Amino acid sequence: MAVDELDTRILRLLLEQPRTSVREYARILRVARGTLQARLDRMEREGVITGTGPVLSPAALGHPVLAFVHIEVTQGHLDEVGDALADVPEIVEAFSITGGGDLLTRVVARDNAHLEDVIQKLISLPGVVRTRTEVALRERVPHRLLPLVESIARGTRG
């Protein structure tokens, strides 16, 4: 979906002031509330806006260790292993990938010993051949999408 300048301004406000009301967004943007709501509805319907809940910090929840675990799976067992990953609460994301391994997971843990326990749990899953773990030392660029949205909007302007 192409986003225009107004969509970009709306998305910026949603990201920067997520607890503001639709009425207040409309006032800030100087557009009718109905216009704003229609834009929000369209962006939700088209999958641009995928959620409105709070963003939580695993570190603040007692899980400051972040690791990326590559999982190699026995051929034909990708779906089975992928389904099993959903039962491991320390896995916060999992993706099928190309390259070195079949799955890439983002794992959080209380400490390195806990991380080792999680990895051992993953290794014991039926269909898992091996894992490779990389521990994150420091976040350099936090998760963000606004620069991408702004870049796309700039591309749609003549």
Cα 95 from Cα 102, distance rounded (Å): 8
* Per-residue confidence (pLDDT) for residue 156, from 0 to 100: 59
**Residue 39, SS3 per DSSP:** helix
Output the CA torsion sign for 78, 84, 88, 92. positive
**In order along the chain (158 residues), what is the average pLDDT of each group of 10 residues?**
88 91 96 97 94 90 98 97 98 95 97 98 97 97 90 72
10 C-beta neighbours (distance < 10 Å), count = 25
**Residue 130, SS3 per DSSP:** strand
* Per-residue confidence (pLDDT) for residue 157, from 0 to 100: 53
* Per-residue confidence (pLDDT) for residue 158, from 0 to 100: 47
135 C-beta neighbours (distance < 10 Å), count = 13
Q: What are phi and psi of 91, to 5 degrees?
A: -85, 115
* Per-residue confidence (pLDDT) for residue 53, from 0 to 100: 82
